[in-house]
Amino acid sequence: MACSKIFSGDLPELINEIIHYFQNDYKTLYSCILVNRIFCRFAIPLLWKDPFSSTSKNHYLVVENYNKRCDFIHIYLYNLNEDDKKKLKEYGIDNKLFPSNTLFNYSSFIKRLNTYKILHSIEKWIVRAITIEKRPTNYFMHNTNLLPFSNSDQYCNIKRLIYKSLLKNFIENKVNLHTFEISMIADKDFHYFNDSFELILQNPNFTHNIKNLELNYGTEIVNINPFLKFLYSNCKEISSLYFLFSTFIDDNILVDKHLSQIINSQQNLEKILFGFNNFPLYHSLLSLKNSNCSNTLNIIIFYYVDFKNVVILKEVFEGLNVLESIHILYCYSLDSNFIQQIVNLSKPFKLKSLFIEKIYQIESLQSLLQKSGDYLENFGFTSLVSEPNQQILELIKKYCTTIKFLDLPGFNRQNINLAFDLIGNFKQSLNYLTISIGVNRFFSYDYDDNVLSSNVLLNLGQILPSRLEYLSLTLMINANEFEVFLKYSQNTFIRKLLVKNKIYEECENILPYIKKYIMKNKRVEYLAVVGAFLKEDEDLFSLKDEVKEFASYNIKVLNYYELKIDYYNFIKELD
């Protein structure tokens, strides 16, 4: 079939299909643009579909310096009209900054925008633009008195102008937006977005076809209802919807009604997330069963939601006909009132993820796991040091059979062997494992932490599965015991390995053991290590010669906090 396509003149189509296979492998995509014009033409749109996230940990394979410096912004500014360029020049941005020409209309390739990341990138670009003293004076700005760390009106005005100019540029280039994430983390985020709101309102096609919408409000919003009205009247093809409201909002009952209208207006909503609800979810939840969602919704995620006054769960879940997974992350009031609504369901409650901070009633949790234990795949909680938490481990061992993600944030002498039993029981399904000891103590030493860390290093390697996608160890590491762990785990391939040494005094150098057992045996693909040497907080990623040596063995050394899993994003990205 492939040969016939080649001989019939369909080679470009085949190349396009192949390159799309690497759409999340940014290093490979960058290599593709250097092959020839055809490869370049297909790879460039994939590299530029989400530029403002290129500085985040999810895009660490992009050419590092270019994106982390946000140099791509001046390419977008090049496409501005002369009036906007004149305004920028008034603030000291010389037109000589802009390239003389560009090979592509890069704005047209954008598929995803996050308002917080846009502003963050602008700030980084301005800081870089006016703090490189060794550059020629005409390189970026003439006005070096404009300080990025100042709260001056001038600094705010230039950010506002660039922000609005970029958004205007994207609209004029008819961006076909696929994902729109509106994140108001601080007051400034709201003010800059509010300036550009009229642009969005006047150009409904800009958001008309979005498939993923996130509303993340972490600052006090005076009136978001006009924007919510616009969304439910204009955006009707959303498949993934994320509501996060972690602060006070005026007239929260009305906001809840508008959110329900957004839900009701959708034709094919498959995933929804409720987070940080500081207002009743009554209308929003009820709309799930009273709309098209009853036959389309597959995934529900509850993130830091308080279920204290939520009494309609049974009614809602009974009305969802194709629901395949429910995820509960660090929610509150998981008490008998919540559990009883779930237990009373006449259909399965397919709880796939459960991360908890507090145990309200162990009996209620037992009832929940009896109902849903066979479905549970991702489990974690914040502490394992109290007696009720040991009972949780026993319940997980008794009722759960297919755990894939296990977060164990601490042990005591009574429950450590039970934790080892859990890991051994889930050997066939386990793919992500996090073990942390001493994470809640800063600049202090605890003898038990030392003993427990030693126990982990001497025993864990013998019970690991043959392959793990992710293993994160935060321990007080003795070098000889670490070598024992590496010897016993030689038959385990770990795609992403994170090691953090929590010894509070002088650390032992464990790097020679990492090179001997991991690097030379090519047992990992991505590696992050903190505290491998004489300093507790020294990151292996900061040692460029070491990074190059690991790279020669096809092992990518990354910044520890870039490789570390964020549970919210991990669950959010699940299909």
Q: Are 328 and 355 in contact (CB under 8 A)?
A: yes
Q: Which stretches of 233-321 are assigned E, i.e. beta strand? A: 240-245, 271-275, 299-303
pLDDT at 472: 96
The per-residue pLDDT for 442 is: 42
Judged by average pLDDT, the poorest of 57-71, 185-199, 353-367 is 57-71
CB 433 within 8 A of CB 406: yes
Q: Could you give the 3-state DSSP secondary structure of residue 246?
A: coil
pLDDT, position 91: 73
Taking alpha carbons only, the member of 444, 360, 455, 445 closest to residue 414 is 455
- How far apart, in whole angstroms, are the C-alpha atoms of residue 252 and residue 87? 39
Q: Are 356 and 383 in contact (CB under 8 A)?
A: no
Residues 297, 302, 307: CA angle, nearest 5 degrees: 115
Q: Would you give the DSSP letter of residue 223?
A: -
Indicate the range of 17-21, 141-145, 251-255 predicted with least confidence: 141-145
Question: How many Cα atoms occupy the beta-carbon half-sphere of 151 within 13 Å?
Answer: 1
Q: Is the pLDDT reported for residue 530 higher than 50?
A: yes
Residues 395-404 have pLDDT tens digits of: 999 999 999 9
pLDDT at 84: 76
Give the Cα separation of 160 and 192 in Å (integer): 6
Say which amino acid occupies 57: K
Cβ-based neighbour number of residue 549 at 10 Å = 14
Average pLDDT over residues 127-150: 49
The whole-number pLDDT of residue 199 equals: 87
pLDDT, average across residues 442-462: 80
